[in-house]
Amino acid sequence: MSSVTTAEGGKSKGKILFVGRDIFLGTMVSQIAQKAGFLTDSTVAAKVFNVVSADLSIKAIIVDMKEAKDFLTEIVEAGGTGSRPKLIAVIFHNDIDSRRHAQKAGFEYVIHRSQLGTNLPTILTEKERK
């Protein structure tokens, strides 16, 4: 059995799943996650449950709320499967409705796009939930 390594050659801490189609946001999430020692993958909101329940290496699901609002229940249910990944919603700073919807749905973290660089590494590397 071979271990998976990061781009820097270190042992991977697991995988981060980005949910959305925004290439700029997806690239930003991927770069931050890889610097923190994680591999990355992406999918669309409609496929999250199947992807997460089949991959025990997923440690966090990072969701672009502008695309996922119709799939919040499925995404939260996916968070209860597999490795029980952290649920992180990404919103625009002025999108109060998306913040409220994500919190009501059960996301553990809701962060502004502008806070990704400072907050995401800490969230990803903090101790796993019980």
Average pLDDT over residues 6-11: 58
Q: Is residue 4 situated within a structural domain?
A: no
* pLDDT reported for residue 121: 95
Q: How far apart are CA 13 and CA 4, in angstroms?
A: 9
* pLDDT reported for residue 8: 52
Q: Which residues pair with 64 in a beta bridge?
A: 90
Structurally, the chain folds into a number of domains equal to 1
* pLDDT reported for residue 81: 84
Q: Which two tokens stand for residue 12?
A: 């991977």
Place of tokens 């329940």: 53
* pLDDT reported for residue 91: 95
For 123, the 3-state DSSP assignment is: helix
Q: Is residue 43 situated within a structural domain?
A: yes
Q: Which residue has the higher pLDDT, 52 or 12?
A: 52
State the amino acid at position 13 in one-letter form.
Answer: K
Confidence at 52, pLDDT banded by 50, 70, 90: very high
Q: How far apart are CA 51 and CA 29, in angstroms?
A: 18
Q: Is residue 78 situated within a structural domain?
A: yes
Res 1 pLDDT > 50? no
Average pLDDT, whole number, for the chain?
88
HEC letters along 27-87? HHHHHHHHHCCCEEEEECHHHHHHHHHHCCCEEEEEEEHHHHHHHHHHHHHHHCCCCCCEE
* pLDDT reported for residue 3: 34
Contact 62, 90 (CB under 8 A): yes
Res 130 pLDDT > 60? no
- The CATH number of residue 116's host domain is 3.40.50.2300
Nearest to 118 by CA among 19, 42, 22, 28: 28
Res 24 pLDDT > 80? yes
Q: Is residue 67 situated within a structural domain?
A: yes
Res 63 pLDDT > 80? yes
Q: Determine the structural domain holding residue 55 and report its residue range.
A: 15-124
